[in-house]
Amino acid sequence: MNTPLIMIVGAADTGRAPLTAALLRRMLLQRTIDVRVESAGVLGHDDDPASPDALAVAEHLSLDLSAHRARSLSADLVDAASLLLAVDRGTARVARLRFPQAEARIHTLGELAGRDRDIPDPFKMQIGPWLIYAQEIERLLQQALPRIIAFLPEGATTPPDSEPPAPSPVVAEERRAAAERTAQLLDLMTRIPGIVEWSAAREQIETTIALAQAHPAGVSDLVVAYGALLRAALALTPPVPGTVHLAALRDAIARLEQPITSEDVSSLSARLGAWSTLA
């Protein structure tokens, strides 16, 4: 039996579509489901690479889009796909008009997730919105996964009884210890202002972030994205930080002792909006 195909349909196939495909591909691989996940677009940007922002956010999520090249959705791709998953309703509408014979197999991510939601196109936005939307795409994929799998032919999925139990993610001891030491240093600085030069503390924070990013606790650990947000927080921290900034950094660094979740990334990203005004 040929490996079934799920086609992610985007506009230009340079941003949301390849990113969604990579996220879904990893999700299905973790569940040992034998399926190809590819992407195509409806606007004709053939051979264009993934956008610089999509490449950056993919790297933060431990994904690689460097080899991606956009292509147009064709009749052959439509006929081969078990499911055509559009990034938004507008794209789905175009696909249904062009390929009415496949209407029953064309759905939006929001539809299959049971949500009245389209992820906006973050084209030319800063990395923060890209990260937030990427996390939302991943959550919608998780919610839609049972319906996505239902489109696959029999035999494509591994029976639940034969799936190996997912190992619990374990944080490397050197990462955990570095995060603990740095959190303790920041705690000391909040209690005894001036005891440590900020330049020295900042250097230790940056070293801890780099160490943590080099030791992810599995593919579900979003430490690379979280580390990028921590560096953004450092850039927004005043040259002489007060106790509120130090406490906020302490709490954020302490999370590195555990695998980073999408909720951690979303929480820190939201807090960055008011970081420079903490008092």
Q: How confident is the model at residue 279 (pLDDT cuts 50, 70, 90)?
A: low
- The answer on 140 and 185 residing in a single domain is no
Q: Is residue 170 classed as helix, strand or coil in its secondary structure?
A: coil
Torsion angle of the four alpha carbons 176, 177, 178, 179, in this order, in degrees rounded to the nearest 10:
50
Q: What is the pLDDT of residue 98?
A: 97
Q: What is the pLDDT of residue 130?
A: 83
Within-domain flag for 9: yes
Q: What is the pLDDT of residue 165?
A: 47
Determine the average pLDDT of the residues in 88-100: 97
Give φ, ψ of 76 to 5 degrees. -65, -45
Q: What is the pLDDT of residue 60?
A: 80
Within-domain flag for 167: no
Within-domain flag for 168: no
Determine the average pLDDT of the residues in 175-179: 94
Q: Please state at what angle helix 173-191 crosses helix 243-254, rounded to 10 degrees.
A: 160
Q: What is the pLDDT of residue 1?
A: 54
Q: For residue 107, what is the domain's CATH number?
A: 3.40.50.2300
Residue 65 has pLDDT above 80, yes or no: yes
- The answer on 144 and 34 residing in a single domain is yes
Give the total number of structural domains in the chain: 2
Within-domain flag for 86: yes
- The answer on 35 and 148 residing in a single domain is yes
Among 130, 162, 194, identify where a domain stops: 162
**pLDDT tens digits, 125-145:** 777 788 888 889 999 999 999
- The answer on 47 and 139 residing in a single domain is yes
Q: How confident is the model at residue 160 (pLDDT cuts 50, 70, 90)?
A: very low
Q: Is the pTM of this model over 0.85?
A: no
> What range defines the domain where residue 87 resides?
5-162
